């Protein structure tokens, strides 16, 4: 059957004319040249003008490491030896380029070698890498290079990087999980788990009763799925902790591909809030040597974790830790509504389970920020526990035998974010935290403290946002720090925070030469008139203070993240500066309901996802900015966002119709009853029937208030969105039609939650929408955004 290319997008409704108030203003002429100039501020242009700064170490024996850095002339591979405080080229690039050219028959430049990753021999004399379809080995002096076989698929040009979510197997093999000793790998086939001997290639089936939708180690959270096995290897490489995932009676989700001829139906398990049956897991421990399957002696557990809405938050079984002797497994059972956490320990040989401790909360429990922070310490019969019971995220030490609190480890009006290392012999914990230092409470710093709370140390003295990467033994760490306004600096420190070596300083001279300027950090008061809210503001580089500029809010309402995102330096944050360049003031504000502050701050609109969504803070914050900066025209306020930001955008247009005049809502989860069960039930609570016959989720849906629309609203969604199904947007469309409202709709055929090669089209349509209806000007006709050919090949 011949397959034809479908239309990129379908415009479903025509927009009304611009409001009289805008049409009466002096329109600004927006030309193709204006759009082209604005596009130069997109990340695919600005990133190529920034060099060095960030260091991503690949650690070697003896705490040595290499990293690749960019310079205006090309790329360099650097080798660092902390013991001698040296930083030098990892190999002679000029000579290796020449030797490789001779060995391969292809000419290579020293500053533009055909690989991103290298392997250094233990003695430091040999470097090997992929170049094209072959693997080469060279002496570091570059005297000779030899073709040693087929490419390994690691780090060549065009490689996607060294994956952190499992690994590919041999050709024809599905994704695998490699044992700690590197001798075995497990994978899934036909709903069962298999093990492959790395040396011999022999494959042995481990489980035999896995069936469709009741398989071993399978990963499907509804909104995401993968073929990689979700297991946790024991330290001795003889067992894996995993589960049999029961989705046999879950509800299905359906999507249909757009094509010529009969459409293709996609169906998969996708539980929704309020479903009487959702995904459950039966926990098991499997001996990979003899295939013995030991089921833990407990009822099926919820498909939940304490940190993310999947049983795997990073490619492995989350909320589980083995004992060093591989005899016991500690794990956390999370209730369906995320209010009840039970820490348990299982005997690997018998499957017997012992309850250790329990914590119940009135709204939602989290064990850290993007990382599980509880740690199982059977050698000292203790547990490090993370809780926000004091309203701030802190660490506590518990007795493993009794489940009783021994002492609180950290305290104060600041938040522990991630425990990166537990040095049990020295009884010291290394962790990141935010809000402890003066200044921006979102700046991340690195600290250490004793188990008893004594000898607290700050390890990153610079006032900035820090990214920390530890050596495997924890004796050293790479500290990369920056702010939204100041470029990155990378240094090497020891475990006491002592400076060992300067590594890199980001060079943004070429970026500055284009006229680029950083966003302004802004502080406004929240709805209560007391709480400080932080954000960023983007203005045109040629700002005229005498003019009046429309203001656009780029929003993500939380609760798991915020509008601003990282506080580290980046040359572009989406299209914020590019949009500002067209003649707008663009703001991002982390309102109440977002993380990294106190628990009450994040829980501000728990159970009120659509009703609140941080919008009272956004509105009052924007009004304060307009009073502070007279060039902001608060009568022309717009808003846009994607996913949760799409939800918030439509919500703003419906609940604040006299304030927000224009909105662009992309792929919004407009009704939590139509989005995956785990996310909604954590942040909105369980969907229950109320005494009046309605359901608790009814009031938070955007379709329930769509009748209030007054301004211009553009809705967009990919028709193959398996994260937020497109029915979320169509529910809003249905309501808008019911109430005879004008709106615009773009359904992008066959695109998922991210729009792929249609992203730039959607960005241009968003610009057009704000230019036409918020600025009152006419945009250039069908401007074509043109990323440079090598925009995504720089490894940044």
Q: Tens digits of per-residue pLDDT, 513-538?
A: 999 999 999 999 999 999 999 999 99
What would the 3-class secondary structure string for 226-261 be? Answer: ECCCCCEECCCCCEEEEEEEECCCCCEEEEEECCCC
Better pLDDT: 366 or 157: 366
Residue 10 has pLDDT above 60, yes or no: no
92: pLDDT confidence band, cut at 50, 70 and 90? Answer: very high
Residue 22 in this model has a pLDDT that exceeds 70:
no
User: pLDDT over 70 for what percent of the chain?
Assistant: 93
With bands split at pLDDT 50, 70 and 90, how would you rate the model's confidence at 21?
very low
* Res 442: pLDDT: 98
Question: What's the confidence (pLDDT) of residue 117?
Answer: 95
Residue 554 to residue 577: CA distance in whole angstroms: 11
Mean pLDDT of 657-679: 97
Mean pLDDT of 88-116: 97
pLDDT number for residue 791: 58
pLDDT of residue 789: 81
**Res 629 pLDDT > 70:** yes
Each residue's pLDDT tens digit, 385-434: 999 999 999 999 999 999 999 999 999 999 999 999 999 999 999 999 99
The pLDDT of 293-298, averaged and rounded, is: 98
Res. 116: pLDDT tops 50? yes
Could you give the C-alpha distances from 722 to 210, 221, 222, 446, in angstroms and in order? 25, 11, 8, 37
Confidence at 65, pLDDT banded by 50, 70, 90: very high
Phi-psi region of 158 (alpha: psi -120 to 50; beta: other; left: phi over 0): left
- On the question of pLDDT at 168 being above 60, the answer is no
Q: Is the pLDDT of residue 497 over 80?
A: yes
Please state, in angstroms and rounded to a whole number, the distance separating the CA atoms of residues 466 and 433. Answer: 10
Confidence band for 794, pLDDT divided at 50, 70 and 90: very low
Q: What is the pLDDT of residues 688-700, one digit of tens each?
A: 998 999 999 999 9
The three-state (H, E, C) secondary structure of 529-550, written as one string = CCCEEEEEEECCCCCCCCCCEE
pLDDT at residue 265 tops 70: yes
d(CA 70, CA 699): 52
| pLDDT for res 172 | 62
Q: What is the mean pLDDT of residues 194-208?
A: 97
Q: What are the structural domains of the chain?
A: 10-48+510-775 (3.40.50.1820), 58-150 (no CATH), 212-361 (2.140.10.30)
Band of pLDDT at residue 16, cut at 50, 70 and 90: very low
Helix or strand holding residue 101 (H, E)? helix 93-104
pTM here is 0.93
Residue 502 forms beta bridges with which residues?
491
Give pairs for 12-17: CB < 8 Å, separation 24+.
Answer: 12/733, 12/744, 12/745, 12/746, 12/747, 13/742, 13/743, 13/744, 13/745, 14/742, 14/744, 15/712, 15/742, 15/744, 15/772, 15/773, 16/712, 16/742
> What band does 29 get if pLDDT is binned at 50, 70 and 90?
confident
What secondary structure does DSSP assign to 30-93, as a single string? --HHHHHHHHTTSHHHHGGG-BS-----EE-GGG-EEEEEEETTEEEEEEEEGGGTEEEESS-H
By mean pLDDT, which of 199-213, 555-569, 621-635, 779-793 is the weakest? 779-793
Q: Does position 163 have pLDDT exceeding 50, yes or no?
A: no
Q: Across all residues in the chain, what is the average pLDDT?
A: 93
Q: pLDDT class for 11, splitting at 50, 70, 90?
A: very low
Whether 284 contacts 210, CB under 8 Å: no
Other CB atoms within a 10 A radius of the CB of residue 1 amount to 7
Residue 12 has pLDDT above 50, yes or no: no
Residue 4 has pLDDT above 60, yes or no: no
pLDDT average, residue stretch 170-192: 90
Q: How many residues does the chain have?
A: 796
The secondary structure element, H or E, covering residue 632 is strand 632-642
pLDDT above 60 (res 166): no
- Which pLDDT score, from 0 to 100, does residue 448 have? 98
Q: How far apart are CA 680 and CA 275, in angstroms?
A: 12
Helix (H) or strand (E) holding 623: helix 615-628
Residue 253 pLDDT greater than 90, yes or no: yes
State which H helix or E strand residue 760 sits in.
Answer: helix 759-770
Q: What is the pLDDT confidence band of residue 3, given thresholds at 50, 70 and 90?
A: very low
pLDDT given at position 155:
67
């Amino acid at each position: 059957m011949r397959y034809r290319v479908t239309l990129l997008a379908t415009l479903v409704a025509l927009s009304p004319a611009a409001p009289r108030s805008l049409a009466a203003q002096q329109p600004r002429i927006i030309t193709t040249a204006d759009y082209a100039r604005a596009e130069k501020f997109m990340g695919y242009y600005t990133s190529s003008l920034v060099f060095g700064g960030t260091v991503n170490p690949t650690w070697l024996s003896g705490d040595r490491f290499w990293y690749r850095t960019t310079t205006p002339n090309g790329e360099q591979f650097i080798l660092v030896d902390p013991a001698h405080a040296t930083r030098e080229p990892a190999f002679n690039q000029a000579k290796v380029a020449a030797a490789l050219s001779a060995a391969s028959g292809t000419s290579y430049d020293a500053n533009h070698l055909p690989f991103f990753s290298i392997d250094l021999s233990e003695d430091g004399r040999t470097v090997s890498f992929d170049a094209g379809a072959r693997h080469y080995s060279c002496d570091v002096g570059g005297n000779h290079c030899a073709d040693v076989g087929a490419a390994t698929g690691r780090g060549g040009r065009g490689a996607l990087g060294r994956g952190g979510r499992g690994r590919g197997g041999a050709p024809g093999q599905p994704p695998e999980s490699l044992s700690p000793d590197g001798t075995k790998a497990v994978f899934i086939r036909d709903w069962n788990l298999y093990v492959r001997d790395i040396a011999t290639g022999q494959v042995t089936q481990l489980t035999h009763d896995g069936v469709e939708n009741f398989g071993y180690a399978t990963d499907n959270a509804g909104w995401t799925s993968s073929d990689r096995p979700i297991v946790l290897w024991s330290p001795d490489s003889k067992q894996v902790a995993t589960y049999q995932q029961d989705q046999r009676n879950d509800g299905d989700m359906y999507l249909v591909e757009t094509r010529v001829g009969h459409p293709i139906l996609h169906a998969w398990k996708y539980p929704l809030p309020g479903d009487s049956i959702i995904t459950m897991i039966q926990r098991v421990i499997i001996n990979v040597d003899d295939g013995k399957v030991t089921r833990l002696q407990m009822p099926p557990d919820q498909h939940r974790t304490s940190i993310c809405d999947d049983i795997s938050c990073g490619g492995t079984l989350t909320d589980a830790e083995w004992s060093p002797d591989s005899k016991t497994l500690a794990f956390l059972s999370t209730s369906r509504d995320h209010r009840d956490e039970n820490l348990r320990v299982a005997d690997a040989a018998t499957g017997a389970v012992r309850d250790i401790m329990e914590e119940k909360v009135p709204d939602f429990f989290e064990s850290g920020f993007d990382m599980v922070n509880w740690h199982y310490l059977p050698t000292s019969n203790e547990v490090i526990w993370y809780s926000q019971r004091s309203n701030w995220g802190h660490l506590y030490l518990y007795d493993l035998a009794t489940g009783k609190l021994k002492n609180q480890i950290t305290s104060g009006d600041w938040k522990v974010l991630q425990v990166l290392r537990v040095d049990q012999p020295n009884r010291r914990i290394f962790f990141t935290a935010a809000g402890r230092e003066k200044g921006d409470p979102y700046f991340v710093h690195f600290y250490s403290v004793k188990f008893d709370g004594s000898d607290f140390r700050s390890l990153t003295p610079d006032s900035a946002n820090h990214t920390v990467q530890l050596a495997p033994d924890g004796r050293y760490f790479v500290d990369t720090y920056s702010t939204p306004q100041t470029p990155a600096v990378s240094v090497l420190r020891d475990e006491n925070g002592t400076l060992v070596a300067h590594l890199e300083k980001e060079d943004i001279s070429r970026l500055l030469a284009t006229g680029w300027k950083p966003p302004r950090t802004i502080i406004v008061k929240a709805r209560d008139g007391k709480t400080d809210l932080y954000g960023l503001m983007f203005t045109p580089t040629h700002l005229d203070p005498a003019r009046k500029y429309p203001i656009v809010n780029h929003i993500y309402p939380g609760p798991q993240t915020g509008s601003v995102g990282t506080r580290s330096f980046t040359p572009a944050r989406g299209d914020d500066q590019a949009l500002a360049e067209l003649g707008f003031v663009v703001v991002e504000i982390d309102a109440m309901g977002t993380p990294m502050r106190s628990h009450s701050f994040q829980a501000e609109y728990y159970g009120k996802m659509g009703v609140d969504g941080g919008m009272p803070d956004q509105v009052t914050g924007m009004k304060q900015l307009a009073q502070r900066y007279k060039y902001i025209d608060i009568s022309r306020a717009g808003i846009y966002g994607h996913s949760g930001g799409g939800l918030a955008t439509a919500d703003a247009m419906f609940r604040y119709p006299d304030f927000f005049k224009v909105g662009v809502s992309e792929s919004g989860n407009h009704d939590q009853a139509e989005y995956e069960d785990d996310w909604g039930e954590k942040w909105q609570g369980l969907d229950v029937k109320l005494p009046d016959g309605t359901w608790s989720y009814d009031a938070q849906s955007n379709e329930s208030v769509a009748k209030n629309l007054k301004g211009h609203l553009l809705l967009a969604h990919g028709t193959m969105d398996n994260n937020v199904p497109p029915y979320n947007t169509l529910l809003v469309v249905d309501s808008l039609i019911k109430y005879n409202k004008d709106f615009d709709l773009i359904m992008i055929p066959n695109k998922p939650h991210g729009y792929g090669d249609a992203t730039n089209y959607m960005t241009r349509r968003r610009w057009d929408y704000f230019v036409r209806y918020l600025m009152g000007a006419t945009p250039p006709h069908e401007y074509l955004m043109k990323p440079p050919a090598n925009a995504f090949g720089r490894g940044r």
